[in-house]
């Protein structure tokens, strides 16, 4: 039986996010547990006159690879995967999992080598995306595992996900997201005036340089759901400390109570109540892993709670997040790393943000305008 919400999400992804044109090749990367959404996207792509195919990602393979592979196998990059990247016009990644903690006990050093090896593919993908040759979207199909992380029943979690994507009710989700695009675009233009941001909150007083960098409205073209504005900060300016109220998950491992202190743009001190070793291993991955590649405001007010999933958490209306690692070159960012780890900071109660000394954000809202109507 088809779930009309999943059908609407499939159409939204194809017609709004990707704007898929006839004759274009779409690859849908999806785990088997997300097959209902993969098939709706496939169907919508056929209706758009495109050539879709589904590449199912079996969830146990990374665990098998980490357990059984020798070094050469671990670092191998398939020439088929590289060749595919040259002819696909669009990729959808469905991030759903059946068990979000399957890799908790994997060897961190080997895991990090696996991630580094996959950089060859990730880099080429970013290159083609930056050149406008490839469009890409990340989306999630609700599963029991994600519902469990969110501490909800599957039915509740489905409503949460589909509301955040604006497909829960029949209507015109494309029109909604076009409205979001307009709102976020004007927000990004306003932020482009700032040279420096100072973020103040519980355990947080951080200065970030953003002069000359472009702010990007995240309006559902790369992620669904979406709703943030972000940029890549100056690499050597970040100074001060920041605390993350929400646990941070990265590749199936949880780190809680993270506090970071920055000097001249780099992390010089770390603390975590749990998962300190994993945090250190990630920061030691390469030179760029200690610097910020992203700073952003979460502006989707239909996402009102933490669910232990970055796709949603970083968009919670009233939060900010920064990412350790790779920057967005198209926004002027220079930092390079195999890491891109988003950490979310809740500013909804006591948070303040100053732009060049002037208070612009308080308790989770920009000051100069009323609550954006649509985000």
Partner 1 sequence: MSERLRRLADVLVGYSGRVQPGDLTVIQGTMNVEPLLEELYGAVLRAGGHPAMRCAPEVEALLLDEGSDQQIEWLNPAELEDIEQADVWIVVDAPANTKALTSVDPERQGRVQRARRGWRERYLERALAGELRWVLTGYPTNGAAQDAEMSLAEYEDFIFGAALLDDGDPVARWRAFADELQRVVEFLGSKEELRFVAEGTDLTFAVGGDRKWIAADGHENFPDGEVFTAPLDESAEGEITFTFPAVFSGRQVDDVHLRFHQGEVVEATASSGEDFLREMVALDEGARRVGELAFGLNEAVRVFTRNILFDEKIGGTMHLALGSAYSECGGTNRSALHWDMICDLRSGGEVYADGELVYRDGRFLL
- Structure tokens given for 182: 């307009």
CB nearer to partner 1: pick between 43 and 101: 43
What is the bridge-based pairing of β-strands 196-201 and 135-139?
unpaired
78 binds partner 1 (CB under 8 A): yes
Q: Please identify which residue in 15, 29, 65, 355 interacts with partner 1, judged by CB under 8 A.
A: 65
Distance CA 4, CA 320 (A): 33
Nearest Cα residue to 250 out of 140, 31, 119, 103: 103
Q: Does 132 bind partner 1 (CB under 8 A)?
A: no
At 160, list the tokens: 């949460």
The nearer residue to partner 1, 69 or 115, going by C-beta atoms, is: 69
Q: Is 110 in the site for partner 1 (CB under 8 A)?
A: no
User: Across-strand partners of 240?
Assistant: 206, 262
Instruction: Find the part of the chain contacting partner 1 (CB under 8 A) among 72-80, 194-202, 288-296, 313-321.
Output: 72-80
Closest distance to partner 1 from the beta carbon of 242 (Å): 39
Answer for the pair 28, 52: CB distance below 8 angstroms, yes or no: yes
Q: Are 241 and 198 in contact (CB under 8 A)?
A: no
Residue closer to partner 1 (CB basis): 96 or 216: 96
Q: Considering beta carbons, is residue 70 or 131 the nearer one to partner 1?
A: 70
107 lines the binding site for partner 1 (CB under 8 A) = no
Show contacts with partner 1 in window 133-152 (CB under 8 A). none
Binders of partner 1 in range 29-58 (CB under 8 A): 32, 35, 38-39, 42-43, 46-47, 49, 51, 53-58
Which residues are 271's β-sheet partners?
A: 259
Asked if residue 373 binds partner 1 (CB under 8 A), the reply is no
User: Using the rule CB under 8 A, is 1 a contact of partner 1?
Assistant: no
Length of the chain: 375
Contact between 334 and partner 1 per CB under 8 A: no
> What's the min distance (Å) between Cβ of 39 and partner 1?
6
Bridge partners of residue 321, in order along the sequence: 296, 344
The interface region with partner 1, picked from 59-67, 126-134, 171-179, 342-350 by CB under 8 A, is: 59-67
Report the C-alpha gap between 105 and 79 in whole angstroms.
30
What is the size of the binding site for partner 1 (CB under 8 A)? 34
Sheet containing strand 319-325, edge to edge, reads 216-218, 228-231, 292-298, 319-325, 340-346
**Which parts of the chain are beta strand (E)?**
25-30, 51-56, 90-94, 135-139, 196-201, 204-209, 216-218, 223-224, 228-231, 239-243, 248-250, 253-255, 259-263, 266-271, 292-298, 319-325, 340-346, 352-355, 358-362, 365-366
Tell me: does residue 102 bind partner 1 (CB under 8 A).
no
> C-beta of 48: minimal distance to partner 1 in Å?
10
Shorter beta-carbon distance to partner 1: residue 94 or 279: 94
Q: Which of 81, 155, 175, 367 binds partner 1 (CB under 8 A)?
A: 81
Site residues (CB under 8 A) for partner 1?
25, 27, 32, 35, 38-39, 42-43, 46-47, 49, 51, 53-58, 60-61, 64-65, 68-70, 73, 76, 78-81, 83-84, 87
């Amino acid at each position: 039986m088809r779930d009309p919400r999943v059908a609407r999400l499939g159409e939204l992804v194809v017609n709004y996010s990707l704007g898929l044109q006839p004759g274009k090749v779409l690859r849908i990367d999806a785990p088997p547990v997300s097959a209902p959404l993969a098939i709706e996207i496939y169907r919508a792509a056929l209706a758009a006159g495109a050539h879709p195919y589904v590449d199912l990602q079996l969830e146990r393979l990374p665990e098998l690879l980490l357990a059984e592979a020798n070094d050469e196998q671990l670092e191998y990059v398939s020439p088929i995967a590289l060749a595919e990247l040259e002819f696909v016009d669009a990729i959808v990644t469905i991030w759903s999992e059946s068990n979000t903690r399957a890799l908790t006990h994997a060897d961190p050093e080997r895991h990090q080598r696996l991630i580094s090896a996959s950089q060859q593919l990730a880099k080429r993908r970013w290159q083609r995306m930056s050149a406008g040759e490839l469009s890409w979207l990340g989306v999630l199909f609700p599963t029991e595992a994600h519902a469990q992380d969110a501490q909800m029943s599957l039915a509740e979690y489905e409503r949460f996900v589909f509301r955040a994507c604006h497909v829960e009710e029949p209507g015109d989700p494309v029109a909604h997201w076009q409205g979001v695009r307009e709102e976020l675009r004007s927000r990004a233009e306003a932020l482009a005036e700032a040279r420096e941001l100072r973020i103040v909150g519980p355990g947080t007083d951080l200065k970030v340089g953003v002069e000359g960098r472009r702010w990007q409205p995240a309006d559902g073209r790369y992620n669904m759901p979406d709703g943030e504005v972000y940029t890549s900060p100056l690499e050597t300016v970040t100074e001060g400390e920041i605390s993350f109220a929400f646990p941070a998950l990265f590749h199936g491992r949880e780190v809680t109570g993270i506090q970071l202190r920055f000097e001249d743009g780099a992390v010089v001190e770390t603390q975590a109540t749990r998962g300190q070793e994993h945090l250190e291993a990630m920061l030691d991955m390469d030179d760029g892993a200690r610097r910020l590649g992203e700073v952003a405001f979460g502006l989707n007010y239909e996402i009102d709670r933490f669910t232990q999933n970055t796709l949603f958490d970083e968009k919670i209306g009233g939060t900010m997040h920064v990412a350790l690692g790779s920057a967005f070159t198209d926004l002027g960012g220079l930092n390079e790393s195999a890491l891109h780890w988003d950490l979310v900071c809740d500013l909804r109660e006591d948070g303040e943000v100053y732009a060049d000394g002037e208070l612009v954000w308080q308790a989770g809202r920009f000051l100069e305008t009323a609550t954006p109507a649509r985000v």
